[in-house]
A and B are shown apart, each in its own frame.
Chain A
């Protein structure tokens, strides 16, 4: 009896809700008489939040804070994905020879290179001239290096400041057109490294600490986003009083227009993805938050190393972590995760295929059951 009383208002409320729904989804009648399609209903993505073993929550907070401190994507920000131009072997030969010849006088001189001088060795092309200038280029990525093998990592170098060294490198790269920049691309100073040498006696007396080379690493900026990873870099080696001893270019050319768009992960989602990777490395016993250090957290378009072919430049986050315990060995790992809601291809395809497979385990040469 009691339920029958409730039945009439319930049916009325249901009918009213149905009418309201129809009203809301009616075609919009604007100033123009044109009928406009109803707004597309975008369903939120189904996300499964990984459940981490106890102890990862503290790391999650730390990683999230580190990501938030630097430039990062906003959650659901629309990010363009760029198509990488395929590498044409013949074009690469010609380009390598042209660039080597253009810079030869500064790097070491000797016989110029021709496109036919290169020897195919696996997935790379190699050529060397009479003055020890070595040219190497990798077919999967288009990576190119031209270095003076007799002078690199040797000799003495003036103690130039980072900015002095960067100036020399920038002028060299621009003057020799080492990379062709798109309208929305620029070069940034990523790092300046140094090669040093010394000697030590039994008494622990040391010789003079020699500065051998200064290495300037220029990064790639695509619009307002950085390119992260070993790709998107131009490395210049300096020696003597700032002479250029060689350069490397890991720079995948892209089409200027985006080929697709993805929705970005914000810092919260990115941190969770990083922790999910960490859980695979550390298992049920994560390092303590005290021992866990984040050396660098960055986001941008991921460009892989020279032996990996990439069809797309896609957004990613990278977190460089170190774990230092009192007795434990030092652990240093870089975790790279997608920065978007989907991937058009794996971020590092070749490595993923080989991951974790021991190549060969052979029968011992001598008997091992001698204990």
Chain B
């Protein structure tokens, strides 16, 4: 009599386990701290980024749920291909675009109208350029770069429109983000803010601050025509104002690429 009950219980667990795991959002984290291979190949001098893993650990510890799709790569295990569109020969559908939040800490800059992030691996390119990204047509809602200069002012539309394919928001910086013994906690702060129910953009702006280093965070979000209102934006109804992390408030639906009318953005000015 007990045996069939045990079987039933095991079956129920087998069914429920993946369902329970799927409740949380999935997260991908990558951190590149040193660049010896890049520097050797380019006779260049990309510096070490101290405390990179403290930052990444903070995001991972707070947000990973043990889901099979969660991943955390470091050093040369972080590949440019992880974020490049499958249609461009990349692996985004298995990595960056296969989770809800993708967080990357590395060197960054922009080429006027594209984001560039730097890697130390030969898989396949040293620099990832956002012209090769198509994000959000898989699972991804938010992409976050703890890197300098990823989102240049005045070029928000040109920069973002290339890779917003259902992506909700890009979290980056319009100038410097600092590495040091006081900003090592920003990953944890950001993740904690998401779990405390802050809007995603607020979690980033607020989370990156230690109120000592001059941080320059910026968050951009894809918006529909309805809230533009002739340039007098209806802020309370914008997507950026309504978007929260899964399980911690409203989450807006994906906005198809061809329905993006404008980009809203918030930033902090030291």
Instruction: Give 24 pairs: A residue, B residue, CB < 8 Å, sorted on A.
Output: A152-B206, A155-B235, A200-B156, A200-B157, A204-B154, A217-B211, A281-B48, A287-B45, A320-B214, A322-B176, A328-B46, A329-B46, A330-B109, A331-B47, A333-B179, A333-B180, A335-B180, A354-B53, A358-B31, A358-B75, A361-B72, A361-B77, A365-B95, A368-B123
Closest chain A CB from B147 CB (angstroms): 7
Interface residues of B in 204-252 (CB under 8 A from A): 205-206, 210-214, 223, 228, 231-233, 235, 241
Q: Which 7 A-B pairs have the closest CB atoms?
A: A334-B180, A358-B74, A332-B176, A230-B210, A348-B181, A330-B148, A329-B107
Residues of B within 8 A of A307 (CB): 185, 188
Max count, chain B CB within 10 A of own CB: residue among A149, A198, A217, A329 = A329
Q: Would A305 and B45 be within 8 Å (CB), given that A153-B205, A358-B75, A365-B68 are in contact?
A: no
Max count, chain B CB within 10 A of own CB: residue among A208, A233, A330 = A330
A134 within 8 A of B: yes
Bound-state Cα–Cα, A190 to B270, Å: 11
Closest chain A CB from B255 CB (angstroms): 14
Residues of B within 8 A of A333 (CB): 47, 50, 178-180
Pick from B48, B54, B56, B262: contact of A199, CB below 8 A. B262
B108 touches A329 (CB 8 A): yes
Closest chain A CB from B4 CB (angstroms): 36
Chain A residue with the shortest CB-CB distance to B106: A329
Closest chain B CB from A32 CB (angstroms): 52
Pick from B68, B148, B205, B232: contact of A195, CB below 8 A. B205
A202 within 8 A of B: yes
Not counting A204-B158, A351-B181, A365-B68, a sample of 18 additional A-B residue pairs whose C-beta atoms are within 8 angstroms of each other reads A149-B197, A154-B202, A155-B235, A197-B267, A204-B157, A206-B231, A207-B228, A207-B232, A210-B233, A230-B211, A282-B47, A304-B181, A331-B107, A352-B181, A357-B53, A361-B77, A365-B71, A368-B123
A347 touches B270 (CB 8 A): no
Chain B residue with the shortest CB-CB distance to A366: B94
B91 within 8 A of A: yes
How does the 8 Å CB contact mask read for A101-114 relative to B, with 1 for contact and 0 for none? 00000000000000
Q: Would A359 and B56 be within 8 Å (CB), given that A322-B176, A332-B179, A334-B213 are in contact?
A: yes
Bound-state Cα–Cα, A193 to B214, Å: 10
Residues of B within 8 A of A329 (CB): 46, 107-109, 116, 118, 147-149
How many chain B residues sit at the interface, stated as a range, is 35 or more
B259 within 8 A of A: no
A332 touches B177 (CB 8 A): yes
Residues of A within 8 A of B235 (CB): 154-155, 197, 210
Residues of A within 8 A of B147 (CB): 329
A207 touches B233 (CB 8 A): yes
B54 touches A328 (CB 8 A): no
Chain A residue with the shortest CB-CB distance to B122: A371
Bound-state Cα–Cα, A358 to B108, Å: 20
A195 touches B270 (CB 8 A): no
B73 touches A126 (CB 8 A): no
Residues of A within 8 A of B181 (CB): 304, 334, 336, 347-348, 351-352
B268 within 8 A of A: yes
Closest chain A CB from B196 CB (angstroms): 7
Residues of A within 8 A of B263 (CB): 199-200
B45 touches A360 (CB 8 A): no
Residues of A within 8 A of B183 (CB): 334
Q: Would A330 and B176 be within 8 Å (CB), given that A197-B266, A287-B45 are in contact?
A: yes
B264 within 8 A of A: yes
A253 within 8 A of B: no
Residues of A within 8 A of B154 (CB): 204
